Structure 1
């Protein structure tokens, strides 16, 4: 195992780390460490021959004054090398660009959870405190930036879990404190090819089974801590946008963790087929995932989905009711393309809502798919100008003639 690493690391410009080291040394009493996924991926690359994964930014923890460190770098190097510097929050979290690389600098801190699932209470702390508040042992290591080399700080057995290619929570209450860590575990497992450690899997299943939280799936906004709903949505957005999502969801289902979101998703044997179809139809995957749940609108509100997606889900519920009451009891299998088009376009269903219904596999999904893919795009072979040339006057009769001409064209289609 490598406990000391050269400052020049793959994917990380040497000039960036040297500038940070120099400034920490100049200010004195400042402890500076690279943390998070960069450290994990560096060790996977050096120790286990994994391919290097490009990093969108670098996360650093400062045991000292973060803003003073960042401002000192800018004063010494100038705005040409540090064109952007923004300070956020009471802890002086700094976002800066150095030599074209985005850096997130945060003051070291400690935290505790006042109640399961609530936001943590955060206070200043030491670097070791900051590492202890993280999600997994493989993400709780730090490369402390010393003179000429980076020294690895591993207090929680992260290297052993990297070697075993497994994810381990830091403590026995990790899932109880923050259930979003389970979704994050599925993301990392799918991306890195890791498994959940046996004791971590036991914690997930025992915690979900005991249900220690004051909210339950199906609760509206009043029942769920707003920040928890936001964090769950953000983790799911990352899962669908950045990870091999089928593998990640498979992990959640195998671990018995989908009841965190909705129990019906845990037992839905068509879930992956529905989502693959949604992907082909360009339906937002998180919207389709929520729409497939037992109480989709409540789940959409709880996760604070975009309002447009909430509207689609609400409209889809109305669309389902229309299908159940007025379409499925009738011999719809014999309806022509023109009949389907008339029925659908006489009502306020958007194309996105019909695509969502197709993705979720309604019994009549085939004609709905044909309407979505072909029939709705059919135009009258005669234009308004053609009909006016034949003697029609602009007005309702002209519109009705165009409609009939289009329907005649649709009658010949399948």
Structure 2
């Protein structure tokens, strides 16, 4: 339904919305609406006394040409008020800055999914169509900007205000997760950020859909058959979750909802998962690579998500590192090894500091001495430099290097 709305956007100059309304009128009454997080957060702030959350940008939907609207604004207001404008014609979107506020304008569209987890077929549509394609009811409301002196109206076609009142996330339709499983990860992000829970029917949809695993790709299949929503789009959502949100709470939600089989079933019952990632954060290990490495099929998952090649190499090298530990270290009395022996064992092989840090973060069987090597022992230097030794008469060459190595090991022998 549409209704008059007193919604205010703290920190957003009135001049921004007024300029947009005026331009919509000059363009012949183009329908223009503020959508997404700005509307949700404004209602939470205004009606439910939530603190205002700063917005990186404002999302607007246009029933018409975004480029014509944006170019009209710039021609009328000048480059001083509109210093940046980037048109993405093939996508029907525009990025622009108006009075210091970043705006994302998108042409109203509708979409349909030909296969579960695949990219949707997108076509121009109405504002109603555009709201119907969104993830949760609380994100499917619009503030329709009035033309001229008309007041903005709140358009809520899917019960978003009721779900805001209940502080819950509700999918728009029964096939939401099957169409795009990244919506589950997005739900965990919103739940952690807003303090919301999943509505009972939404939780049932997650568990039923994930449990049935309806997508055509299975573990072990060729990577070129991975649906985009189980590959690159899933990685992008995880990067946002781990980089911008309270990730401990968000991952806790994914485990509680039974949703981690989207990545790997082994992660679902890993009781140490959050502890492992806390260690990764402390050690400076990229959280997504640590999450992937904690899975039973880490390399396949890294490839499916298209992790950066360097992180894929770390995960692959860790597999070799684990074999070395199992065959060369664990059968020995490694608990009695000195700092010097650990250092010599690690540095005589091609293990990088990043791979050792990954093993420490995931709390492998030797993680304590490995942590000491990573944090202290590898930084220990010989008490004498090459210049010192040359001054005593030692000539440059292999003997000089060996002497420096032995002096360093002697210093390490005295450490714990």
TM range (shorter): over 0.9
Please state if 1:104 is matched with 2:104.
yes
Please state if 1:70 is matched with 2:70.
yes
Asked if structure 1 preserves the Cα contact closer than 8 Å seen for 2:8 and 2:42, the reply is no
Q: Structure 2, unaligned stretches of length 5 or more?
A: none
Compute the TM-score of the two structures, normalised by the length of structure 2: 0.97
Q: What are the residue-to-residue correspondences of 1:350-361 with 2, within 5 Å?
A: 350-361=352-363
For the structure 1 residues 8 and 193, does the alpha-carbon distance in structure 2 shift closer, same or farther, using more than 3 Å as the test? closer
SS at match of 1:382: coil
Partner of 2:403: 401
The offset of 1:6, in angstroms, is 4.4
Partner of 1:271: 273
The offset of 1:228, in angstroms, is 4.0
For the structure 1 residues 116 and 315, does the alpha-carbon distance in structure 2 shift closer, same or farther, using more than 3 Å as the test? same
Aligned length: 414
Q: CA separation in 1, counterparts of 2:205 and 2:102?
A: 36
Partner of 1:95: 95
Asked if structure 2 preserves the Cα contact closer than 8 Å seen for 1:239 and 1:248, the reply is yes
SS at match of 1:149: coil
Partner of 2:376: 374
Asked if structure 2 preserves the Cα contact closer than 8 Å seen for 1:218 and 1:262, the reply is no
For the structure 1 residues 2 and 174, does the alpha-carbon distance in structure 2 shift closer, same or farther, using more than 3 Å as the test? closer
Q: CA separation in 1, counterparts of 2:26 and 2:5?
A: 22
The offset of 1:220, in angstroms, is 4.9
The offset of 1:330, in angstroms, is 0.9
The offset of 1:265, in angstroms, is 0.2
RMSD between aligned alpha carbons?
1.4
For the structure 1 residues 6 and 149, does the alpha-carbon distance in structure 2 shift closer, same or farther, using more than 3 Å as the test? farther
The offset of 1:242, in angstroms, is 1.2
Runs of 4+ in 1 over 3 A off after TM superposition: 5-8, 217-220
Q: What are the residue-to-residue correspondences of 1:8-407 with 2, within 5 Å?
A: 9-146=9-146, 147=149, 149-217=151-219, 219-226=221-228, 228-407=230-409
Q: CA separation in 2, counterparts of 1:382 and 1:109?
A: 70
SS at match of 2:82: coil
**1:125-171 residue CA offsets vs partner (Å, 9 max, x unmatched):** 00000000000000000000113532100000000000000000000
Q: CA separation in 1, counterparts of 2:170 and 2:229?
A: 24
Q: CA separation in 1, counterparts of 2:191 and 2:70?
A: 34
SS at match of 1:187: helix
Q: CA separation in 1, counterparts of 2:208 and 2:228?
A: 25
Q: Structure 1, unaligned stretches of length 5 or more?
A: none
